[in-house]
Amino acid sequence: MEKMGKLFRALADETRLRIYLLLLKGELCVCELVDILNMEQSRISHSLRVLREASLVDDRREGKWIIYSVNPEMSRNGIIQGLRDELKLSTQDLKNLDRCKKEKLREKCKKR
């Protein structure tokens, strides 16, 4: 029961829900999420921590970078499958994601 409570609390916040929906499209780093969502890094990092604590996202280290992705175990959960089927990213978030990928933002951030 506690695990489901964490899941619902994690996804009850619009920012965390948007991040999760973006990660369903593919793995992203914090700098990409900051650019796509046009939010402060601290807010994105906090949201990712909550999603990670709810076992919704995984992370892996790539050099000094942390790359986030959807936890494949949790993505098989019926509630998550329903969310994936019913909820869609906004047109603006999709445009920003597409631009981020085309501009290879992660590579630009790594060079800084």
11 against 43, higher pLDDT: 43
64 against 13, higher pLDDT: 13
- pLDDT tens-digit readout, 55-102: 999 999 988 889 999 999 887 788 788 887 788 888 999 999 999 888
Output the pLDDT for position 105.
77
Output the pLDDT for position 107.
77
Phi and psi at residue 64, to the nearest 5°: -90, 0
Output the pLDDT for position 78.
80
Are 60 and 70 in contact, with CB atoms under 8 Å apart? Answer: no
> How far does Cα 107 stand from its chain's mean position?
18
Q: What average pLDDT score do residues 24-50 get?
A: 95
Contacts of 29 (CB under 8 A, 6+ apart): 65, 66, 67, 68, 106, 109
Classify burial at 24, counting beta carbons within 10 Å of its beta carbon; exposed 0-12, middle 13-18, buried 19 or more.
middle
Q: How far apart are CA 15 and CA 61, in angstroms?
A: 23
Output the pLDDT for position 75.
74
**Residue-range domain boundaries for the chain:** 2-111
CATH placement of domain 2-111: 1.10.10.10
Q: How far apart are CA 102 and CA 89, in angstroms?
A: 18
